[in-house]
Amino acid sequence: MSGGKLAIHGGTPVRSRYLPYGRQLIDEEDIQSVIQVLQSDFLTTGPAIEQFEAEIASYTGAKYAVAFTSGTAALHGACYAAGIGAGDEVITSPMTFAASANCILYQGATPVFADIDPRTYNLDPKRLAEKITSKTKAIIPVHFTGQPAELDEMITIARELNLVVIEDAAHALGAKYKHSSIGSIGDMTMFSFHPVKHITTGEGGLITTNNRLYYEKLRQFRSHGITRDPEHMLENHGPWYYEMQFLGYNYRLTDIQAALGISQLKKIEHFINLRKKYAAMYNEAFRHSDKIQIPYQSTESESSWHLYIIALHLEKLKGSRKEIFEALLKENIGVNVHYIPVHLLPYYQDLGYKRGICPNAEQLYNRMITLPLFQGMSEQDVQDVIRAVNKVLDHYSK
């Protein structure tokens, strides 16, 4: 998409060039890091993977880290390691990307959607408690937009009932929950390195955990269910011998990707600071608007600001979300919607999930618009977005 379209009133758009909602920031150091691996002995299962895992573990304060080919594969691994299987129920948020629930289906278990808190947009611990049955095996809270979910309340429930807590922290690398880093708290925490996330490996994901048993299962799951560790083998025929002990997958990240991740991770504080600065500029510009609701910010946690979402007060506007969204696109602002609630997706509808089961998520979906937020944008870009939003809201003002 590029310029040339007419904005509202048929006038010139606020921007002549399209601004995406998110994109990677790659520098010369990143490129050199990848080239070094290409010239080395190992393209996969080499030292760059171990280094990347060790550095993410150290950054998040977790004991162990296991890299995967994607965040989705990492969630699949976590569901396997947690022992989730047929007949089990796993509770998650409907306000997330499909992968948070698909990983439950991969293991033959049943996703159960508990509604969000309309203020934080995160899984509401009270709604979560209502959904627990004798079949509940695990919970997958999502730190939506980078704002940590109410982990204390959820972990208390989980400990009492022996449930596994798998955090979907695809949005929350670098976020803090009450002074603890996300990644060091729940039983297992998933991060994603897709290009729109905080740091990228092209595609990639990872699980952090403090539990040795989960760590070992995750590593084995990532590589066909195979072990070469003599201590864990039933027999040992010789130095070539390995055992495949369960059905795993090939979910191994390459060293080429890990090298990019190592280099990107060096810049994480800078990336997060830029995101925080831009989010603060949006907050300042929209704080007093009666037409939009700005994102909730907890006083005891620290968001790492993956997404900046505004929710429209439609009763104060004469346009629909769709009209306002399209008007912003015509201003060359790359807006988006995160997310269509998972239970409303056709595949989930066919599984029998009904519209109406999560009214807060469904109502929010009808009002939300994601504004551009990424480390590669400039303050001028942020000002352009603010101008475009104000222009469009004025136009559709009642």
Ligand X SMILES: *Cc1c(COP(=O)(O)O)cnc(C)c1O
Please provide the DSSP assignment of 117-169 as one string. Answer: PTTT-SBPHHHHHHT--TTEEEEE-B-GGG----HHHHHHHHHHHT-EEEEE-
Element (H, E) at 98: none
CA-closest candidate to residue 89, choices 124, 125, 132: 132
Q: Which is nearer to ligand X, 122 or 332 (CB)?
A: 122
Q: Which is nearer to ligand X, 205 or 334 (CB)?
A: 205
Positions marked active-site = 197
Question: Residue 390 has which token pair?
Answer: 């104000």
Q: Which is nearer to ligand X, 327 or 373 (CB)?
A: 373
Smallest distance, ligand X to C-beta of residue 196, A:
7
C-alpha to C-alpha distance for 86 and 108, rounded to whole angstroms:
5
Smallest distance, ligand X to C-beta of residue 75, A:
7
Binding site for ligand X (CB under 6 A): 70-72, 96-97, 99-100, 142, 168, 170-171, 192, 194, 205
C-alpha to C-alpha distance for 192 and 74, rounded to whole angstroms:
8
- Contact criterion met (CB below 8 Å) for 62 and 272: no
Q: Which is nearer to ligand X, 122 or 184 (CB)?
A: 122
Smallest distance, ligand X to C-beta of residue 145, A:
9
Smallest distance, ligand X to C-beta of residue 113, A:
14
C-alpha to C-alpha distance for 379 and 342, rounded to whole angstroms:
34
Smallest distance, ligand X to C-beta of residue 381, A:
22
Q: Which is nearer to ligand X, 71 or 125 (CB)?
A: 71
Residue with tokens 């939300």: 368
Taking every pair of Cα atoms in the chain, the longest distance, rounded to a whole number of angstroms, is 79
User: What residue number has its CB nearest to ligand X?
Assistant: 71
Q: What is the CA radius of gyration of the chain?
A: 22
C-alpha to C-alpha distance for 173 and 318, rounded to whole angstroms:
38
